[in-house]
Amino acid sequence: MNNNQHELRLQVERLKNEVGELIHFFQQDRDYHRMVYTFWDAKDILGHLTFWHESFAKNLSDVGKGVKPNPLKGKLSEVNTLSVESTKNETITNLTQRLSIAQKTIEEFIFNKDITLIPYKKGSRDYSRLEHVEVVANHIDKHLNDLTKHYGTTKK
């Protein structure tokens, strides 16, 4: 196994742990409608992360299956608003299940060496498998840290 494959395995394990910690956070008996950011409560953050995780999983699986991917379109601020609006009426249980399914899809395709670049968003550059996993893990970690700080809890 070369260094890049080894690093990818480590980062996928990190991503898997971040997703597991996020799901664990939302399995507690808490008020998830407390505001964490100016316009987003904790449940909105879960919806946002689930939306983006599903996008990553779909783009990755499309490339892996030889299907033309259809990445998200629009300014990042617009897509982030859509990520919350489109998941607003979902239950926390449904969102964590969707997140888990997206994670399984990512794990199914991420080690496919035929996949060199994964689209992120229309108008943005594509990312290598390693870069994309690192970006996603960091994104989840940032929001999870904000959640745990806001709720006075610690990451598991």
Q: Is the pLDDT of residue 6 over 80?
A: yes
State the pTM of this model. 0.94
What are the tens digits of pLDDT across the range 76-114?
999 999 999 999 999 999 999 999 999 999 999 999 999
Q: What is the DSSP string of the chain?
A: --HHHHHHHHHHHHHHHHHHHHHHHTTSS--TTSBSSSS-BHHHHHHHHHHHHHHHHHHHHHHHHTPPP--B-S-HHHHHHHHHHTTTTS-HHHHHHHHHHHHHHHHHHTT-TT---B--BTTS--B-HHHHHHHHHHHHHHHHHHHHHHHT----
Domain ranges of the chain: 3-151
What are the tens digits of pLDDT across the range 126-135?
999 999 999 9
152 pLDDT band (50/70/90 cuts)?
confident
Question: What is the fold, at CATH topology level, of the domain defined by 3-151?
Answer: Four Helix Bundle (Hemerythrin (Met), subunit A) (1.20.120)
Q: Is the pLDDT of residue 1 over 60?
A: no
